[in-house]
Amino acid sequence: RSHRPTRPDRPGSDGAPRGHVREVEHHAPDAPLGTLTSYLMWGVLIAGLVLLAGFIARDLFKYADDPGPVTADGAVVVEAPRAELARPLGDADELAAQGRFAEAIHTLLLRTFQELARTSAVRITPSLTSREILARIPLLGDARDALADLVAVVELTWFGDDVPGAADWDRCRGQFHRFASAYRAAPAGSAA
């Protein structure tokens, strides 16, 4: 019988009998690299958990300030901060004076929402629409109606096809003053 050379690409040609499976040795990766990767993974996981806990704690304790003054009988007096309602008019008046009425009306609404959000416990994100913001801010009666009218005008002029003029600006400025008066007249705890 002649000796045939073995061919590694054919089963049974490695000198082992046919049907016999040769065991392959598995080598573990270098220990220092595996350990380093393990430490990095745990470090990233722990850092992520610490950040998550920080965000949760910040949101939970955001409004846990001093409860306020206490009356003689021990009750806590809670006064809601009032918005500085003259602030929104500054930028908007400048834009209106330049004849940029759509921008003026839009700015008036945005600045009003910013002041209301600043003085209430309502978080306003850029993804919210004006109607969603209006629904979240605690307002009553005339203040809500006047602000809703201002929102409607902004929808038509800023996002729609209507081109506002000086008369529209005057009407919106009037709605703002109606809103500001109703907001100021409301008791401090009711937010108008």
Query: Quick one: which of 106, 111, 104, 103 has its CA closest to 85?
Result: 111
Tell me: the pLDDT tens digits for 122-145? 677 778 888 888 888 777 788 888
Instruction: Kindly indicate the confidence band of residue 48, based on its pLDDT and cuts at 50, 70 and 90.
Output: very high
Do the beta carbons of residue 139 and residue 146 sit within 8 Å?
A: no
**Beta-carbon neighbour count of residue 72 at 10 Å?**
5
pTM of the prediction? Answer: 0.51
Lowest-confidence segment of 64-78, 103-117, 120-134 by average pLDDT: 64-78
**Which ranges of 61-86 does DSSP label H, i.e. alpha helix?**
none
Q: Which two tokens stand for residue 3?
A: 């000796």
Instruction: Kindly indicate the confidence band of residue 57, based on its pLDDT and cuts at 50, 70 and 90.
Output: confident
74: left (phi over 0), alpha (psi -120 to 50) or beta: left
